[in-house]
Structure 1
């Protein structure tokens, strides 16, 4: 817990033991910490340099702990000052970078990042540095985006397009839900041409398949970036909205005799209706939708029929057009 102020696990244990005892002989402390005497003395010398311990003036070989409120408070103050200095240095560097980037050289418009660790780190930087919007094209499994991928601050908007084949794989919808749970808007496309991440319309990242090891291209503001933005918008425009999550156990039903739920035609779609419709438009069968939402197959079919009656249409294709025209899948039911 005290790593932030420069103590390793052994030093923290020694200081905690001294605080608990008030004072201790080196041999007693070594026994308590299960350390050789030389290692214990070395640890105590480090605590002494940090102002956390001191040798007793009354008894040779005895060490006493400095009061935590005073000693740790001083270390925390020093850490805050160093952090503030680092923040000021970062601000100066950012300003210098902006000034240099005002007229970037051609070779500075792209970066090649090589290696699994480097690619993952750059991806996290891209997401965490976003302040307005993150746009993602996800081919296959969208692992790396979301909770563990650096999806930006909560205020950042997210638009994600997932390949339809990902939903068709076993556990596909659950995997997408877990990976993209924070995304504001998710759509499904028959084909996603490449993996792509764009942060604030200013930086983009795409994989490079030509190199022997995992690599990616980071693109700065340029005509190439504009082309990648155009690619994302084209795929986004043709994709089908997908509703992730939702209240699976709630709807327009009411309790009947014996506690059974009697389905009634809803006045307007509820969250479960819209999630059923979204998954169907994404290419899933009635049976797979029912399994994913933990509903009965006949319940799914009955709800779809209710949506068709509500829309005044006779086919599911017409229902899809009606849902799109009325914005059912782009806003929460009210």
Structure 2
């Protein structure tokens, strides 16, 4: 009866007999249930692990007592709710991991029958304009690359204003580094003031735009998004990419907010930098991921090495783990 709450039939029977005969020991419980003492002890272990039976505070020999049915149900239901919540988190993590794999695999190619492949910046720009004009409800964007050129920013204002005027929900995740570039930050603030929601993160897996949760435009070459793009429409792929966006959005910092620091006074960028240094990633590769210049990447790395009193980048990673700045 209570198997759905994690209680085996034998454990449930033992619990019921304990309620009816509080003074019964293992031997008496086994006799009443016509089973072995070993089976009773196994059931008591299960009931104890679930906190359905607990040591009696009034007896020195540590005899177990059954909690009231009301308390037992509350405990079992709370445990089940916690298990369900954990399972949901695992499902969402799996979806995000699947989406990250889709996004990070270089050379994405159309797979579904309605997918398109676009070659060259002009074809991408033209198709992007069509998709924006056809959008009906929402556009979700990952905008890596850090600071944008003044020409790109100026060219995007008209289409963005038209979208927002039509009531299209616009959510964009930029890199934290845009907070240090005045023209880009002014543009992001301009978007925010007109109703677009903007947040920032340390790094993004890919450049991506999702239209109405039905179509997603991603580059076919992660190193140069201008060479080509794939317009993906597969239901499973779109669901995974939406999950990736939502997970990233939840952990991102709203524009106007201060990037949070951890217990050791490290920003998210500094923490991620330590992880990348320990893996041997070059300054140039780190700079691309963070949307900053190689010179800035070297400066941040040098500062972290000084704080950690490390002579090498690998040693910086080791010292960071030893000090609890990073997990082993």
Same fold flag (TM > 0.5):
no
TM-score, normalised with respect to structure 1: 0.38
Name which structure has the greater RCO, CA cutoff 8 Å, separation 6+: 2
Task: Specify which structure has the higher proportion of helix.
Answer: 2
